[in-house]
Amino acid sequence: MKRNPDRVVIFDTTLRDGEQCPGASMGVREKLEVARQLARLGVDIIEAGFPVASAGDFEAVKTVASEVKGPRIAALARCVPADIEACAAALAPAGKRARIHVFLATSEIHRKYKLRKARSEIIRQAVAGVEYARRFCEDVQFSPEDASRTEPEFLAEVIRAVLDAGATTINIPDTVGYAIPSEFGSLIAYLFEHVEGLDRITVHVHCHNDLGLAVANSLAAVQNGARGIECTINGIGERAGNCALEEVVMALKTRQDLFRVQTGINTREIYRTSRLVSQLTGMMVQRNKAIVGANAFAHEAGIHQDGILKERSTYEIMKPEDVGIPGSELVLGKHSGRHAFRHHLAKLGFDLAEKELEEIYQAFIALADKKKHIYDDDIVALVQEHLQEIPPVYVLEYIHVISGNTAIPTATVRLRKENEILQDSACGDGPVDAALKAVDRMSGISGRLVDYSLQAITSGKDALGEVSVQVEFGDRVVSGKGSSTDIIEASIKAYINCLNRYLFLEGQGRKSPRRRAASGTGKTKRTSSRKRGTQVRRKKRNG
């Protein structure tokens, strides 16, 4: 892509690198919803997946390429023909907006231990990959994986070779989040100095957050001439994640005086996008997260509150409304009819089929019976809970708990499994533990809760509570969410959501020959160190 010195291209990889976050996988329908919202947000490029990795990834890229208008749609491939062909086929519906993104590791450590290839072989394979991708697509991006740990003169040599072979965008990844800003900025400057013609195309950077420096490194790269930033919503991604889109975009905007560049992002869509991604991936946003965390604009100290009341800019460098944080606006009540409800959903950006609308309306009426005030966030939670495409194998029908400081916590749970009604009771360390045990007894599948958090979605004593959990079933960890005005019910819903997701992923794994075919290439397994040490997770590994 031709370089525009005043404009930073935002390349969003939430659906590809972000989805590699442990437990964050999404289905096709969920990815499509995220992609539609990314288009509303104004990203320039959506990296929709890694088509060769699984049948599900292929389908997701193809669906996004055919349904989402506006941004370019990219997909990832190794420098091997089968990957590139899968990309080309999945991206075909995007026509001229398609981009094939090929990558190959270049650092000594990867050459020696992972690829077992000499420098000359790396150059040969990178060139062959780019040339082959150009046969299918005019827009080909090349990434030298682990660029920041590659010898700079060799990196420059690789880039010269792939530019000659027809690469139209070069991306410089800090794959393991090892670089620090001054060093990464200097690397970008070095490449501009030593690669003839690099200043005529857009150089991207792709930074991981292992040392918490992904945003800082991306900004340093911009100061040294990079004009494309690869990032994810809420910074989700492999290990400690990727550069957070909302942070890097707001840094560029807030410090325009320094950077003097624009992005095409409609910052007022940031908060909604963050909520959607959090809801659909089950990855909660920490309260003190910059830009989108619940505390990002909360002022606690008296001196600060006093300053804010006198003049906002004393303690606020951005306005909450600039990132689309909604006021606590009362929107609908139990007397609101279908028409008002549909109208309101459209205003929130949801375009739903008649049947879905009716189902969500019924859920809304049920909620309005329990909760006096219904806010935008309550409605978004209802819709997003409904949008999850995980087949509801188990559905919660009923829960009854006995608890208290002198009682043995006991729960009776009734589940529906297709046409069958199951009911069981169990005792536990608390009412939630008892209820989860009862669910395990009925499903015959034992899960281990590895993470649990509870957040109030809106304010007030009757606020909807949102529970996010991560549950380990065998060697698979899955995330899930549930919401209710009752936190025990929300907890069980979240757990059942994980159980259904687990059953869905197991089913997908069996149906997915691509995922199997890709194993042994380092792509279908990944290692992740969790509490109990290092374990192998059954998930694709790609960057």
- Applying CB under 6 A, the residues found at the interface with ligand KIV are 17, 76, 103, 143, 145, 171, 173, 175, 206, 208, 543
Residue among 23 and 173 whose Cβ is closer to Zn ion? 173
CA pair distance 104, 269, nearest whole angstrom: 34
For residue 10, the cross-strand partners are 229
**Buried b or exposed e, range 196-221, using 16+ CB within 10 angstroms:** eebeebbbbbbbbbbeebbbbbbbbb
- Dihedral (Cα; 128, 131, 133, 138), 10-degree rounding: 160
For tokens 């029908």, name the residue: 397
269 interacts with, out of ligand KIV, Zn ion, none, CB within 5 to 8 A per kind:
none
145 interacts with, out of Zn ion, ligand KIV, none, CB within 5 to 8 A per kind:
ligand KIV
Q: Decide if 70 contacts 118 (C-beta within 8 A).
A: no
Is 431 a binding residue for Zn ion by CB under 5 A? The answer is: no
Q: How far is the CB of 152 from ligand KIV (least distance, A)?
A: 17
Kindly report the three-state secondary structure assignment for every residue of 447-492.
CEEEEEEEEECCCCCCCCEEEEEEEEECCEEEEEEEEECCHHHHHH
Residue among 50 and 361 whose Cβ is closer to ligand KIV? 50
Q: Decide if 288 contacts 295 (C-beta within 8 A).
A: yes
Q: Decide if 23 contacts 470 (C-beta within 8 A).
A: yes
Q: How far is the CB of 101 from ligand KIV (least distance, A)?
A: 7
Q: How far is the CB of 383 from ligand KIV (least distance, A)?
A: 31
Q: How many residues bind Zn ion (CB under 5 A)?
A: 2
Residue among 248 and 426 whose Cβ is closer to ligand KIV? 248
CA pair distance 106, 171, nearest whole angstrom: 13
Residue among 54 and 175 whose Cβ is closer to ligand KIV? 175
Residue among 172 and 401 whose Cβ is closer to ligand KIV? 172
143 interacts with, out of ligand KIV, Zn ion, none, CB within 5 to 8 A per kind:
ligand KIV
Q: How far is the CB of 49 from Zn ion (least distance, A)?
A: 13
Q: How far is the CB of 164 from ligand KIV (least distance, A)?
A: 21
Calculate the alpha carbon distances from 289 to 201, 222, 231, 246, 527 in Å.
34, 23, 16, 10, 26
Q: How far is the CB of 200 from Zn ion (least distance, A)?
A: 25
Q: How far is the CB of 536 from ligand KIV (least distance, A)?
A: 20
Q: Decide if 417 contacts 424 (C-beta within 8 A).
A: no
Q: How far is the CB of 175 from Zn ion (least distance, A)?
A: 6
Q: Decide if 93 contacts 66 (C-beta within 8 A).
A: yes
Strand 45-49 and strand 9-12: pairing?
Answer: parallel
Choices 137-145, 401-409, 459-467, 535-543 (CB under 5 A): range interacting with Zn ion: 535-543
**Buried b or exposed e, range 268-301, using 16+ CB within 10 angstroms:** ebbbbbbbbbbbbbbbbbeeebbbbeeebbebee
Residue nearest to ligand KIV according to CB distances in the complex: 543
Residue among 178 and 271 whose Cβ is closer to ligand KIV? 178
Query: In this structure, what token pair is assigned to residue 364?
Result: 């809304």
Q: How far is the CB of 54 from ligand KIV (least distance, A)?
A: 16
What are the backbone dihedrals phi and psi of residue 374, each rounded to the nearest 5 degrees, phi first?
-115, 125
6 to 45: interface string for Zn ion, x by CB under 5 A:
-----------x----------------------------
Q: How far is the CB of 526 from Zn ion (least distance, A)?
A: 12
Is 543 a binding residue for Zn ion by CB under 5 A? The answer is: yes
428 interacts with, out of ligand KIV, Zn ion, none, CB within 5 to 8 A per kind:
none
Residue among 216 and 415 whose Cβ is closer to Zn ion? 216
Residue among 33 and 145 whose Cβ is closer to ligand KIV? 145
- Sorted by sequence, the CB contacts under 8 Å of residue 399 that are 6+ apart come out as 411, 412, 413, 414, 435, 488, 489, 492
Measured between its terminal Cα atoms, the distance across the chain in Å is 22
Residue among 20 and 263 whose Cβ is closer to ligand KIV? 20
- HSE-up (13 A, CA, CB side) for residue 85: 3
Is 480 a binding residue for Zn ion by CB under 5 A? The answer is: no
Range 205-244, binding Zn ion (CB under 5 A):
none
Residue among 25 and 443 whose Cβ is closer to ligand KIV? 25
400 to 419: interface string for Zn ion, x by CB under 5 A:
--------------------
Binding site for Zn ion (CB under 5 A): 17, 543
